[in-house]
Amino acid sequence: MSRDVMTLPPRPRPPLTIDPAEFIAVRVIVMKVVADMAGHFEASGAGRAQDWINDIGISCQKAILAADISVRDSRELERMRREAVEQVNNILGSIHFTRNRNDAN
């Protein structure tokens, strides 16, 4: 006895949506935590705050390059990685640290 089994094509994924207010909130939290940690790093005498922020940036870039990112093709993967690295650089680059005072704008 033969059965014809009909398979349905997979449903397309819904587009990724990001709540702008949530993104801003997360960005501000990250910037504040990084600025405060950098300030504590410098206050402890372990080194310059900006060097610590730069090291965080390098670590984030390495993590993005090593991440298992699900995309359709390799060109999209490279674009996604490049844009993610740019976002890390933008976020960390907007943290302005001065001695005895740190600001996460």
**pLDDT per residue as tens digits for the range 67-81:** 988 877 788 889 999
| Counted domains in the chain | 1
Q: 18: Cβ–Cβ under 8 A, 6 or more apart, which residues?
A: none
pLDDT at position 1 is 53
Give domain status of residue 95, yes or no: yes
Give domain status of residue 65, yes or no: yes
Band of residue 30 on the pLDDT scale cut at 50, 70, 90? very high
**pLDDT per residue as tens digits for the range 34-68:** 999 999 999 999 999 999 999 999 999 999 999 98
Expressed as residue numbers, the domain containing 61 is 21-100
pLDDT at position 8 is 80
